[in-house]
Amino acid sequence: MKFLDLAKVYIRSGSGGGGCVSFRREKFIEYGGPDGGDGGTGGSVWAEAVDGLNTLIDFRYQQHFFADNGRPGMGRQRTGADGSDIVLRVPVGTEILDEDQETVIADMTEVGQRVLLAKGGNGGWGNLHFKTSTNQAPRRANPGQEGVERTLWLRLKLIADVGLLGLPNAGKSTFLAATSNARPKIADYPFTTLHPNLGVVGIDGVEFVVADIPGLIEGASEGRGLGDLFLGHVERCAVLLHLVDGSSGTLIEDYHTIIGELEAYGGGLAEKPRVTVLNKIDALDDEERAFLKEELEDACGGPVMLMSGVSREGVDQVLRALRSRIDADRLRQKKSEEDEGETWHP
């Protein structure tokens, strides 16, 4: 399934049905009078966050969503039928933006959350509503209210606890594959990862979600490479895991490149808690590890951890460091095999 995190949709709520002008005149009934019914209410357009979706690909093939109009009123005081509502089913984490792509209408962060995007028009009054003591045979009725037409943008920001950062080929996908059941594509050329991947990682009885995004390069904030299109997916993360390739000959420059792109992107990413890791240490001897770690610590002004996603050296220590940085309410208790086996018995 193709990953899509930005979609443009056109919505329109239903117009209300018009009121009816009608008079009753029946045999053996001395007095008649107006009996025109009201029009029905037009359908509304809603957005609902549902479980089981992680992409906006459905909106690639359908962009127009029009609710039904209300039916007009009829004689004998019959009200027209209401138009049916229409619901846009979006994944959790979707932002709904106005046409300017800046004004946030709603942020769908919980399963089952519903937001009204366009309210249906009210039905018009029939001539029965206009009957008075001085106007007992009104010949007027209201038309239905027009529906609301809008152009909206849907922008998906994956909800994860940890976001992976680093240059292309820094080992982000290898780390995700080594610690979770996710199977991202791994190869020895830049930009192997073309779209974000999610993996559920478990350590010491708890689980959290890790998001792997395509690597950044210098000038990504200006659109170079894949640009900063996917940085929005780590905005909701509690902590960032910055992987630095230990086998690179430009270690310090690589570190400052990523930090510079975070600051250029804004959104508070540069201020988020960050764990810096010197990756691919399986290619280094003890002397090189100590020297590069000291250099990187001087550059970042904080502690640096050592890890190899291939040999899994230091992986558990990194996971525990991430766990300590994640808010307690984000951690999910890991189900043991014994608990999963305990099912209902007669």
- State the Cα–Cα distance between residues 289 and 306, nearest whole angstrom: 8
119 is in an annotated binding site: no
215 is in an annotated binding site: yes
β-bridge partners, 305? 277
83 is in an annotated binding site: no
| Residue type, position 142, single letter | N
301 is in an annotated binding site: no
308 is in an annotated binding site: yes
* Cα atoms in the 13 Å half-sphere on the side-chain side of 52: 5
273 is in an annotated binding site: no
Across the beta sheet with 114-118, the strand order is 86-91, 45-50, 114-118
181 is in an annotated binding site: no
Strands 86-91 and 162-165: unpaired
172 is in an annotated binding site: yes
225 is in an annotated binding site: no
240 is in an annotated binding site: no
Pair 154, 104: CB distance under 8 Å? no
170 is in an annotated binding site: yes
336 is in an annotated binding site: no
203 is in an annotated binding site: no
Phi-psi region of 94 (alpha: psi -120 to 50; beta: other; left: phi over 0): beta
310 is in an annotated binding site: yes
- State the Cα–Cα distance between residues 186 and 204, nearest whole angstrom: 27
- State the Cα–Cα distance between residues 51 and 114, nearest whole angstrom: 13
197 is in an annotated binding site: no
97 is in an annotated binding site: no
- State the Cα–Cα distance between residues 173 and 297, nearest whole angstrom: 24
Nearest alpha-carbon partner for 205 in 308, 327, 320: 320
84 is in an annotated binding site: no
Q: Encode burial over 317-340: b for 16+ CB neighbours within 10 A, e otherwise.
A: ebbeebbebbeeebbeeeeeeeee
246 is in an annotated binding site: no
281 is in an annotated binding site: yes
Backbone φ and ψ for 241, nearest 5 degrees, come out as -110, 110
- State the Cα–Cα distance between residues 182 and 147, nearest whole angstrom: 45
8 is in an annotated binding site: no
54 is in an annotated binding site: no
279 is in an annotated binding site: yes
Q: DSSP letter for 219, please.
A: T
Annotated binding site for GTP: 166-173, 191-195, 212-215, 279-282, 308-310
Annotated binding site: 166-173, 191-195, 212-215, 279-282, 308-310
Annotated binding site for Mg(2+): 173, 193
